[in-house]
Every structure is written in C-alpha cells, then in structure tokens.
C-alpha cells in the first residue's frame, strides 16, 4: 500500500466516507493529478510584492466582522 492508498483510507475514515472498490482507482488517479497540479503551482515564484484581490463577503458576513 502506497502513500496515496494510506491517505485515502485515513481521510475517508476520518470523514465517515465509504469509497467503493470500483471507485478507488479513480480517486487515486485524481489525487495524483491534484498532486501534480499543486507541484506546478508551487514552482511559480509569486514574489514579495503580490497584491491579492479583496475577498467578497456577503452583507450578512460583513456585519459579523
């Protein structure tokens, strides 16, 4: 069992999710794809002067702050 298999087992147990054996290969493929995308994004140098866009908050949440 590899790291991805162990992660799927642990994460699904943590949230009470049952993954059918027929779906497991697709879940593992998605995790591999997500890991490759994350690796690509982590390689981008954003610099120290990155200006982030403001976060939209609906009116109800603006009052709560």
The rounded distance, in Å, linking the Cα atoms of 57 and 43 is: 30
- The tokens of 9 are what? 């087992």
How many domains would you assign to the chain? 1
The rounded distance, in Å, linking the Cα atoms of 37 and 24 is: 20
Quote the pLDDT of residue 6. 94
With a cut of 90, say whether residue 15 has pLDDT above it: yes
Average pLDDT for residues 20-36, to the nearest whole number?
95
In a domain, 64, yes or no: no
pTM above 0.85, yes or no: no
Domain that holds residue 36: 3-42
Quote the pLDDT of residue 9. 94
Residue 1's pLDDT band (cuts 50, 70, 90): low
In a domain, 32, yes or no: yes
The rounded distance, in Å, linking the Cα atoms of 6 and 38 is: 19
Quote the pLDDT of residue 48. 85
Percentage, residues of the chain above pLDDT 70: 91
In a domain, 13, yes or no: yes
Q: Are 28 and 44 in contact (CB under 8 A)?
A: no
In a domain, 23, yes or no: yes
């Amino acid at each position: 069992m590899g790291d991805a298999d162990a992660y799927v087992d642990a994460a699904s147990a943590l949230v009470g999710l049952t993954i059918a054996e027929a779906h497991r290969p697709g879940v593992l493929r998605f995790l591999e794809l997500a890991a490759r995308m994350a690796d690509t994004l982590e390689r981008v140098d954003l610099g120290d002067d990155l200006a982030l866009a403001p976060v939209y908050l609906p009116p109800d949440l603006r009052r709560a702050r």
